[in-house]
Structure 1
Amino acid sequence: MLKQEAEHKNYINQLEPEGILSAFIAHPPEGFRSQITETGLPLFTTQFDLLTTAEPALRQRLAALPGYRRWRKWLTLNTCFIGATTSEYVCLPYSQQPEAVLRWIEAHCINKQPLTIIKDLPLRSPLLSPSDNDYNLRLIAAARRRGFVCVEGQALAWVPIDFASVDEFLARMSHSRRRNIRRKLRSRDGLNIEVLKTGDVRFQDSVFRAQLYQQYLAVWHQSELHFDRLSANFFDHVLTDADSDGRLFCYWHQGELAGFNLCYLYQRRLIDKYIGFDYALAPKFNLYFVSWFVNLEYALSEGLQSYVAGWTDPEVKASLGASFTFTCHLVRMRNPLLQRIFRYFSHYFESDTQWYRQRVL
């Protein structure tokens, strides 16, 4: 039996090994305070800028208002997030029904923090069981009755492994797109691809781990969103964890590391978690595109059911054949006036959903 077939889920909505969540709790990002509550609920608190995920149009409208520079700081609030930034979905304890979860949140979060967000709650996810999806719908309904605003979240990209080869997968695309991808994949010939299991002896080398972390930071710094910068200690934890069934795909060119991709095998899926690039080399080898197809090939070779490709760059991932499933965030402000204002502006925080609707229509 494959290891991932034998693994047991400890949380509702769990898509990755629990070791990743444990690493987040033990080594939270800078400015975060994280914990697992006595009820089994993971959460963290931090200062959160409300405009972090707002559409550019809203940011521009606010910036044009009188006194913006003076009152801009008021949009950063001490916030309690239910969930973790290292899990695709919010992990919820099996022992607590939705009403009990919300009562605990009201008593310990909403009454103590200006802002509370239940983050990344799946909406009828094809990656989850019917019972998990039913639980989420009941939680959303109960939260709305209690005054939470439901804000549609990001697009999680995934690919069902329902093809026998990469050629068959490419054949589903248009001729022009297929030709463009094949052209970019030719750069793979200049790379040596190495796959290391987490916990491998190579990760005892602190210099190698530091190199990987610097490449992660290079990607983080060029990202449009800067929220949770994971620490070097977090990466040390996950790279040396032999029990989480991780795979580090290393892309070498003439002895130089051009980039890496850290994925996990779990519940017959390949879960793509973190990437790092040397931007002096990675673009020359179209590493983003190459790594996508290397991951698909690996999922095929392991007999997996799907490849879960993460939240960022939905337009690029759509061009590479990804499907999408969505989440929502349940938002509650302690101040009733601010809650009403946020409800009015909440559609400005749903850019991925609006992008997807325009794409489909």
Structure 2
Amino acid sequence: MMFDATAARSSHMPQTRAVEIRIHRSIAEIAAPDWDACFPGNPEGHAYLLATERAGIEGFGWRYLTAQEGGRIIAAMPAFLTDYALETTVDNPRLRGIVARIRKSWRRFLVLKLACLGSPCTETGRPGFHPLLDEARRPTLMAQLIAAFEAMAKAEGCALRGLKDMPETELPALRPVIDAAGYAALPGLATAWLDIDFDSEDDYLAQLSARTRKDMRRKLKSRAQVSVEHVTDLAPVLDRYMALYNATRDRSDWQFEALTADYFTAILRDMPGRSFCTLYRVEGRLLAANFFVANEDVLIDKFFCMDAEEGRAYNLYYLSWFNNIAYCLEHGIARYQSGQAYYDNKLRLGSQLTANFMFFRHRNPILQRVLRWVSPLFAIEESAEKSE
């Protein structure tokens, strides 16, 4: 699918070549180096998105937008289509119960067909721009991508359109474009990260408060009872791993996509040297697992899953945290990114937060005003607790 970007150009930014916006149904249609060039330093690149696309995640259709100029991709964004239940982010069991009862008689109550820029399986929805592109052109290209996305959403019959997890660092340049397109903002879940600016575990502990340092040393005494293994093949433990993942997901306050065994196995298979899983066993029994994607600069903690009953006795959440820091130190990785939600522990362990925002627009202006009015009910509350 192609979209003429001429109408979306900004008059105050002259163009020397025509920009063509293309919408692809598979990222396999795009050369990996061309896509990855727009997302330098991001482990969740072409290989990650292709494995995700092929994983058979139920309820999602995948799209990929590229802006091309002179035969070169200069901007890109993933996108997806799904049926979205508005109460997904509601942290109110009573309200969720009311919605569930109504939905027994009215199946699509508060369910809208959604087209969204971003990916449900990446840490943020940051747009990609070629590093040689003049930064002053980025707002214009973003406007063109949004215009093409809007046309696609209309063709797909999606009344609700969104942008998922836009980092606040991108907003000074891009927020005016998003606002001009009629989108309303909601706070999303922030991304937690820790700079590995120390040389050893002792140096890291010295950066923490005395109380936290004492607590961590006490918790780490259980190390002697736990065996730790880094693997790139989950086949021998796949059934147990998926049981841990599904149980952990069921305990979560936010349930959007349900990942499949094919997702985990495909990431490990298709991203050699850039993905792995750490297994935690006690007396041979698998009690926890940590799934990662990485490159030479950043380790992204995608999922930590644990046996809620047995894992706490061995402080496996904290053991995994310190094991991940040790991995970064051993491999010269400068940043450990521990993901979204449950910030209390992450903050006291030295993490910093980068805010993310969601944006939404309904094609019906009356319903858009209604959604703006009720949107605080559906905003994500950032929980401070972590299932340890």
TM-score by length of 2: 0.76
Q: Which residue of 1 aligns with 2:272?
A: 243
Which residue, out of 252, 275, 284, partners 2:281? Answer: 252
Aligned partner of 2:318 in structure 1 is: 289
Does the 8 Å CA contact 2:44/2:122 hold for their aligned counterparts?
no
Q: Deviations over 1:285-324 (max 9, x none)?
A: 1111110111111111211111000002112222322111
Q: Distance in 2 between matches of 1:119 and 1:242?
A: 24
Q: Which residue of 2 aligns with 1:77?
A: 112
**Which residue is 1:130 aligned to?**
none
Query: Could you tell me which of 26, 42, 46 is aligned with 1:15?
Result: 42
Q: Which of 326, 351, 358 does residue 322 from structure 1 map onto? A: 351
The verdict on how the C-alpha distance between 1:240 and 1:174 changes in structure 2, with shifts beyond 3 A counting, is same
Please state how far the C-alpha of 1:14 moved relative to its aligned partner: 6.5
Q: Name the SS of the counterpart of 2:188 in structure 1.
A: strand
Any idea what the Cα deviations from partners look like across 1:107-147, whole Å, max 9, x if unmatched?
Answer: 111563111111011111xxxxxxxx3xx543321110121
Aligned to 2:176: 141
After superposition, what is the alpha-carbon deviation per residue over 1:238-281, rounded to whole angstroms, capped at 9, x for unaligned? 12235351121111222221211111222511111122223343
Equivalent pairs counted in the alignment come to 330
- 3-state DSSP of counterpart to 2:208: coil
Q: 1:102 is matched with which residue?
A: 146
**Larger RCO of the pair (alpha carbons < 8 Å, separation 6+):** 1
SS in 1 for 2:88: coil
- The alignment yields a C-alpha RMSD, in angstroms, of 2.9
Aligned to 2:89, the other structure's residue is in SS state coil
- In 2 relative to 1, CA 38–101 (structure 1 residues): closer, same or farther, beyond 3 Å? closer
Structure 2 counterpart of 1:20, one-letter code: Y
Which amino acid in the other structure matches residue 101 of structure 1? L
Contact between 1:157 and 1:323, CA under 8 Å: does it hold in 2?
yes
In the alignment, what sits opposite 1:304?
A: 333
Shift of the 37–68 alpha-carbon distance from structure 1 to 2, 3 Å rule, reads closer
Q: Helix, strand or coil for the counterpart of 2:116?
A: strand
The answer to whether residue 50 in structure 2 is matched with residue 50 in structure 1 is no
Give the greater-gyration-radius structure (CA): 2
- Pair 38,12 (structure 1): closer, same or farther in 2 beyond 3 Å: closer
Do 2:56 and 2:262's aligned partners in 1 also have CA atoms closer than 8 Å?
no
Q: Is the 8 A contact 1:195 1:250 kept in 2?
A: yes
Asked if the contact 1:24–1:34 (Cα under 8 Å) also holds between the matched residues in 2, the reply is no
Cα displacement (A) at 1:152: 1.8
CA contact (8 A) 2:43 2:274 kept: no
Would the alpha carbon gap of residues 315 and 349 (structure 1) be closer, same or farther in structure 2, given more than 3 Å must change?
farther
Letter in 1 for 2:163: I
Residues 30, 75 of structure 1: alpha-carbon distance in 2 compared, 3 angstrom cutoff: same
Mapped contact 1:13–1:91 kept (Cα < 8 A): no
- Matching residue within 163, 168, 171 for 1:118: 163
Contact 2:294 2:300 in 1 (8 A): yes
Structure 2 vs 1, CA of residues 55 and 275 (structure 1 numbering), >3 Å: closer, same or farther?
A: closer
Distance 1:31 1:68, change over 3 A: closer
Amino-acid identity (%):
27
Structure 1 residue identity aligned to 2:148: W
Give, in angstroms, the shift of residue 351 of structure 1: 4.4
SS in structure 1 at match of 2:122: coil
Measured after TM superposition, the shift of residue 325 of structure 1 is 0.5
Cα-to-partner distance string for 1:76-110 (whole Å, 9 max, x where unaligned): 11111212122111253437811111110111115
Q: Name the SS of the counterpart of 1:209 in structure 2.
A: helix
SS in 1 for 2:308: coil
2: distance between equivalents of 1:26 and 1:85? 14
- Which 10-residue stretch deviates more, 173-182 or 256-265? 173-182
